A and B are shown apart, each in its own frame.
Chain A
Amino acid sequence: MTISRRAFLELSGSGTLASALGVSACGPDAVAQVGGAGGDGVVDVQGAAPVIDASVPSGSPDRGGDAVGAHLASVAAAGVSCAFVPVATVEHFDAALRNLLALYAMAAEADWDLVRATSQLSAPPPGGVPPDENNRLGVVPTFQGLQMVEQDIGLIRGFRELGVGVMAITHNWKNWNGDGCLERTDLPLTGLGRLAVREMNAAGVLIDLSRAGVRTSLSAIDESGAPVVFTHSNARAVHDHPANLTAEQIDACARRGAVIALSAFPALVSGRPQPRLDDFLAHLDHLLDRVGPDHLGLGLDFDDRGRKRYAHDPFPDPPYAFPQGLSAPADLDNVREALEDRGLSASERERLLGGNLARVLSEAWEG
């Protein structure tokens, strides 16, 4: 099932786009229908915070359905109740839509739930129960760039209606909206980029600035009426990499209520061939020290695909050696332990493991 770009634009906003594609509608209009509790079979655990991984890069069909399923199952088994799953990065409209619908087909088979409203976000079951029908994973499809939209920012609303709840303004490189973090230039948002930010605000999309350039991200933080997220970024002060965040970006996040989700991706953790858990925790400590626990989350990004587009890109080729002690979803327990060791309260730990991300999702989606 697919649809032309023109029909997509015409149907979006009419409430019929989602049904035309055989999926359930999302976005501000759909929230009311979902209601406050439960919905789509997800148990709403009042008072308990969800555990969210803001970067679970496995949605690309080139990995094959089985690999995606296995990966998401291991994420769920690690006690993650909600995964942000990128379905497109530099893909154009047709491919992005195809990937999104492919994710839904997989979700239907695996009993994952599309997260349509933050009231659906559930806490994970106690004790790390293995995945079964009682351990359902909430999935938030995301875009890591806006190549699929190009200049047609009207398409943003349609993709939101189809469930894409988080969108990045650009990914690593320059596009219509602004500069990426690996670019030759470091300009603020373009005029179109400013409009795209406002359109994402209006459509109830959480804006991801992880791979935007420094000035593009700073201007987007300023322009956005809702807090933003960095779904997989660490601190440059700890490891100097263009995809990590400067002090100015970090402080702007804190000032505007944004959340930085820390990444285990080795090139962003340290300069070692294989980083250690402590290297990852150095980013956590730096950020706790600078902005406190209310602006942090996790976006572990266990991605094994190559990221180079140009020979000079500052990413090594796969295979990647993820940090010792943080090399797979199950190692989330080591992070939990480290949070306890640091003397964070139960409530602070909950916020850091997902509560903060749930807050920015709620502010972006439901206002």
Chain B
Amino acid sequence: MRVDPGLAAEARQLHDTLLVVNGLDASELRSELIPNLRAGGVTANLVTGLRDGVRPLTTVASPHLHFLRDHADTLVHATTVADIRRARREGRTAIVLGWQRSDYVGEDVNRLLGFHRLGLRSAGLVYNVGNYVGSGCVDPEHGGLSHLGVEVVRELQRLRIVVDIGGHCSEATSFDALEFTTGTVVCSHTNPRALRPGNPRTMTDGLMRAIADRGGVIGITAFNFFLVPFGLATIDDFLDHVEYVVDLVGPKHVGIGLDQIIGRVVMGPVDPRPFPPEAYPPRYEDWIYPDELTDFSGVPLITAGLLERGHGDDDIADIMGLNWLRVWEEVWGA
């Protein structure tokens, strides 16, 4: 993307007035991330936390909680939208803790209350492959929620934790979750199937409309392989995906959910069970992002790109963060 210098200056000026929220981040929560988030003007970042690696959190010795305590001068562990606004006022960065799978509850849905108290505020249900809760997007055959899954989505709503469907979940499980919940649900990070046919990790128009009809938000990822089937994606491809969804469901129902993996240095072959080649590149070296979105420093370029494509300031403010704040406030309460 070539932005003329005048527009770039205007975009940066606009960007600095925005309250920018990233609806899902898969980066390592490390010190280096904090200045990077600030450089990109990101006020709130939802990270995958409250788990031990890929396992359920078996103790309350959460590394994420320790990290947040140790960096309290620059970070706010946000559990309310007021916390996020306070972080903005104080020049700090808000970190929201969420899950990408809910089978961390094991077989006991009552554990969710404890996780809520530790700060869990958003929960995906199934990560790519079927689990105790439901079926995943890469399963050989898709189906709805399990009995536990029904209990999980009901309890998540009761606790006012955001129910995060689609993307990694199968569409059958996602529609089932819509059936067993009321009110706002979201998809924190996906891409439109219409622009990336053949990748089961992407989302159909039908499910995006269903989420928007319930007042929710669909976050768009910048993961290269979800943007384009081969070759290198650019920030323009990312903006095409954002615009497609804006055209489909309107600017009130689209956000960014960049799903970057900053600081996670993994090389070599990918486990094809959760990450089959039709959905993910088979080598970690190819888990990449458009150059400008490899880390957060390029986030202002999203604002610039939307401005250049003729979106109004209010729509840009919604897409870059206020939509997430709206639904989080609805779900979490004031």
By Cβ-Cβ distance, the 10 closest A-B pairs, closest first, are A185-B143, A174-B146, A190-B130, A187-B143, A187-B141, A90-B107, A185-B144, A190-B139, A192-B273, A310-B147
Decide if B273 touches A184 in the complex (CB within 8 Å). Answer: no
* Residue among B106, B138, B143 making CB contact with A179, cutoff 8 Å: B143
Q: What's the tally of chain A residues with a CB closer than 8 Å to chain B?
A: 26
Give residues in B with beta carbon < 8 Å to A: 54-55, 106-107, 129-135, 138-151, 273, 276
Counting chain B CB atoms within 10 Å of each CB, the highest count among A90, A173, A176, A187 belongs to: A187
In the complex, 30 of the A-B residue pairs with CB atoms within 8 angstroms, ordered by the A residue number, are A90-B107, A151-B129, A173-B107, A173-B148, A174-B132, A174-B134, A174-B148, A176-B130, A176-B131, A176-B132, A179-B146, A184-B144, A184-B146, A185-B143, A185-B144, A185-B146, A186-B143, A187-B130, A187-B135, A187-B139, A187-B141, A187-B142, A188-B140, A190-B129, A190-B130, A191-B129, A191-B273, A195-B273, A309-B147, A310-B147
Query: Of the candidates A92, A188, A189, A310, which one forms a contact with B106 in the assembled complex, judged by CB atoms under 8 Å apart?
Result: A92
Residues of A at the B interface (CB closer than 8 Å) are 90, 92, 147, 150-151, 173-176, 178-179, 182-192, 195, 309-310, 312
Other-chain contact of B146, A150, A183, A188 (Cβ < 8 Å)? A183
Closest partner residue, chain A, to B133 (CB atom): A174
Q: Which residues of A contact B139 (CB under 8 A)?
A: 187, 190-191
CA distance A182 to B150 in the complex (A): 14
**A183-B131 in contact given A147-B107, A190-B140 (Cβ < 8 Å):** no
Dominant SS at the A interface?
loop
Please indicate the chain B residues that have their CB under 8 angstroms from the CB of A310 in the complex. 147, 151
A344 to B191, CA, bound (A): 64
Chain A: minimal CB distance from B301 (Å): 38
A208 to chain B, nearest CB (A): 19
Q: How far is B144's CA from A139's CA once the two chains are assembled, in angstroms?
A: 39
- Number of A-B contacts defined by CB within 8 Å: 73
Bound Cα distance from A147 to B107, whole angstroms: 9
The interface residues of chain B lying within 8 Å CB-to-CB of A179 are 143, 146
Output the nearest chain B residue to A312 by Cβ-Cβ distance: B147
Determine the chain B residues whose CB is within 8 A of the CB of A190 once the complex forms: 129-130, 135, 139-140
Residues of A within 8 A of B147 (CB): 173-174, 182-184, 309-310, 312
**Bound state CA distance, A176 and B133, in angstroms?**
9
- Tell me the complex Cα distance, A195–B130, Å: 14
In the assembled complex, the Cα of A133 lies from the Cα of B55 at a distance in Å of: 46
Minimum distance in angstroms from B131 CB to a CB of chain A: 6
**Centre residue among A183, A185, A309 by max chain B CB count within 10 A:** A185
Knowing A179-B143, A192-B273, the reply to whether A184 touches B150 (Cβ < 8 A) is yes
Complex Cα distance, B138 from A195, in Å, reads 15
With A151-B54, A184-B146 already in contact, 16 other A-B pairs whose C-beta atoms are closer than 8 Å:
A90-B107, A151-B273, A173-B146, A174-B130, A174-B131, A178-B130, A179-B143, A183-B147, A184-B145, A184-B150, A187-B141, A190-B140, A191-B129, A191-B138, A191-B140, A191-B273
B130: shortest Cβ distance to chain A, in Å? Answer: 4
